[in-house]
With several copies, the nearest count.
Chain A
Amino acid sequence: MKEGSAATSDGSLAVCVRFFALYREWAGEGKRYVTLPSGASVADLLATLRASPGLERLPFDTKVAVNLDYVGADHALQSDDEVALIPPVAGG
C-alpha cells in the first residue's frame, strides 16, 4: 500500500467508480463504490467489475482516469480515489 493512501482498517481500500455513456448503460448506474484489497491496481478493479452483471464485456484495455488523469492498467489505487471508466471518446 502506498504511503498516504487512506486504507480501511482491515487493509482493504474503497474507491468511487464512475461510469459514462455506454458503460453507464451497462452498469445501470453512474457511480458505484467498490472495495478492493490494499495494493489493488486498475487492472484488478477492471477484473472485479467484469464479474458483475452487465459489465462482462468491459474491455481489458478500458481507458481509465484516476482523479481526473488518465492512468495505465498497473496504476496502484488508493482509498477515496475517483476512478472513471472512459468509453471510446467521440468529442468534436
Chain B
Amino acid sequence: MTRSQDTRARTEGARLVGDRVAAVITHCPLETVPELRDIGSTADGAWLVFEGRVREENAGRRVRELEYSAYEEMAVKELRAMADEAVVRFDVGQIVAAHRIGRLEPGMASVAVAVSAPHRDTCYAASRWVIEQIKDRLPIWKRERYTDGSEDWVGSEEVQA
C-alpha cells in the first residue's frame, strides 16, 4: 500500500488523527483501508462514501476481469493533491481517497472517496469533484479482459486508431 507521506497511518482508536486528508494506492481490497470509514469529527454533520465498482458489462461486452496499473509514485502524489485541493475549494472536514490496482473482478471496488463535512451540500460537492478529478487525471490505466477472450486498454481507442 502506498500512502502519501505525511498522512501515514497516524490513527488513534477509530479516528484518523490530525491530518485532514489521506491518499492511498493499494493492491489490497479497499475494505482494508480503515481511513475510509474512520473520518469525521463531531463538527461534521455529513459523511459520504463513494465507491466505484467493476461492472460485469462495458459497452456491450461481458467483462471477465480488469487489471489496473498505475504510475504509483505519481498517482499517490496526485491523489493527495486532489484531496488537498478539495479541502481548499470546499468547506469539508476530512477527505480520504483510495484506488486499488491489480486484478479485479466484477463487483469489486476499484476506487473510493470518503468525505466528512459540516453540511451535506459541500460534502456531496467535494465527493463528486474528487471523483471527476480522478477520472480526469490520475495516472492509472485499465486493461479490460472480456469473457470472449479479447482485451482492451480502456480509453486508448483513439490513440491506437
What are the residues of chain A within 8 A of B68 when measuring CB–CB?
Answer: 91
B159 and A89 form a contact (CB under 8 A): no
Among residues 26 to 72 in chain A, which have CB atoms less than 8 Å away from a CB atom of chain B? 57, 59, 65, 68, 70
Residues of B within 8 A of A88 (CB): 155-156, 158-159
Chain A proximity mask over B136-161: 1 for CB below 8 Å, otherwise 0: 11111111000000000111101110
Alpha-carbon gap, A92 to B68, bound state (A): 10
Binds A, one of B14-22, B34-42, B69-77, B85-93: B69-77
Interface size of A as a range: 10 to 19
Q: Apart from A84-B74, A91-B70, what are 19 other A-B pairs with CB-CB below 8 Å?
A: A20-B71, A21-B156, A22-B141, A22-B153, A65-B139, A70-B137, A86-B139, A87-B141, A87-B155, A87-B156, A88-B155, A88-B156, A89-B136, A89-B155, A91-B110, A91-B138, A91-B139, A91-B140, A91-B141
CB distance from A92 to the nearest CB of B (A): 4
| Size class of the B contact interface (CB-based, 8 Å) | 20 to 34
**Which residues of B line the A interface, CB within 8 A?**
52, 68-71, 73-75, 77, 99, 110-111, 131, 134-143, 153-156, 158-160
Q: Give A87 to B140 CA distance when docked, in angstroms.
A: 9
The CA of A90 and the CA of B143, in the complex, are separated in Å by: 9
Whether the Cβ atoms of A68 and B156 lie closer than 8 Å is: no
Given B75, B141, B158, B160, which contacts A90 in the complex, CB threshold below 8 Å?
B141
With a CB–CB cut-off of 8 A, which chain B residues contact A89? Answer: 135-141, 155
A-B contact pairs, 28 of them (CB 8 A): A20-B69, A21-B141, A21-B156, A22-B153, A59-B159, A65-B74, A65-B139, A68-B74, A84-B71, A84-B139, A87-B159, A88-B155, A89-B136, A89-B137, A89-B139, A90-B153, A90-B155, A91-B70, A91-B75, A91-B110, A91-B111, A91-B134, A91-B138, A91-B140, A91-B141, A91-B142, A92-B135, A92-B138
Instruction: Identify which of B77, B137, B141, B159 contacts A20 (C-beta below 8 A).
Output: B141
CB distance from A53 to the nearest CB of B (A): 17
- Rank and list the top 10 A-B pairs by shortest CB-CB distance, nearest first: A91-B140, A21-B141, A90-B142, A91-B138, A90-B155, A88-B155, A90-B154, A92-B135, A68-B74, A22-B153
